[in-house]
Structure 1
Amino acid sequence: MDLANSGLSGEAVYKSTCIACHGGDGKGAFPGTPDFTKSKGPLSKNDAELLSNMINGFQSPGSPMAMPPRGGNVSLTDADLKAVLGYMRTTFEK
């Protein structure tokens, strides 16, 4: 995955956009939000599937609400989303 063309660092994207729902620890800020730290959680999916979910939005089974496309931040580029995925894998993946 080439993160060199990203306008923002993955950490910056996570902390400005994703943290509101997914929490600083990646475990989810409220019920129904996916836990990134679980071994069979969202980060067990491949990058293409996760990026598609991030770009297009996604509703996890059992969650009362869906994640909006691009986490609700339409200014995020595909490169920004790749960078945040890299950050999430490095920070939360077990």
Structure 2
Amino acid sequence: MMRATNPVLAGLGVAAAALAALATEPRVAVAGTATGESTYQSSCVACHGADGAGVLPGVPDLTSTDGPLALADAVLVKRIAEGFQSPGSPMAMPPRGGNPGLSDEDIKAVVRYMRQEFAIR
């Protein structure tokens, strides 16, 4: 005996599969907003590197147990927003990582991303 497929249930199955696929896709910035990852990739990676260890002399290692991520979020947000020069470093991070278009929300998102990505293990 053939079993009839309920078109409503079939449609729900397709919708559920699409939602599941979206949940596993990388987060993409919505027009006018950025994710922490996209902000890091566009404004931070050149100096801090894809792995967070720093690619230029004097750039702090974000993966170090006593590095910048050991500080409070408010301190990190302030340093990113205003710029900061680590003691003994020959260079300073410019305000907003050299990207004046970064909003305060973008900065908070990149701090969350760095904590997640470069968690001290």
User: Normalized against structure 2, the TM-score is what?
Assistant: 0.72
**Residues 18-71 of structure 1, C-alpha deviation per residue, up to 9 Å, x if partnerless?**
000000000001110000000111100000011000000000011101100000
AA of the residue aligned to 1:38: S
Q: Name the CA distance, whole Å, in 1 between partners of 2:101 and 2:68.
A: 23
Could you tell me which runs of 5 or more consecutive residues in structure 1 were left unpaired when the two chains were aligned: 1-5
Query: May I ask how many residue pairs the two structures share in their alignment?
Result: 89
Q: Please list, as runs of the form range in 1=range in 2, the aligned pairs for 1:1-94 lying within 5 A after superposition.
A: 7-94=33-120
Q: 1:62 and 1:7 mapped to 2: Cα distance?
A: 35
Higher RCO (Cα < 8 Å, 6 or more apart) = 1
How far 1:13 moved relative to its partner? 0.3
Aligned-pair identity in percent equals: 56
1:75 is paired with a residue whose SS is coil
Superposed structure 1 runs of 4+ greater than 6 Å apart: none
Alignment match, 2:6: none
Q: TM-score, normalised by structure 1?
A: 0.92
Map of 2:28 onto structure 1: none
Where in structure 2 are there 5+ consecutive unaligned residues?
1-31
Q: Counterpart of 1:3?
A: none
Choose 1 or 2 for highest CA Rg: 2
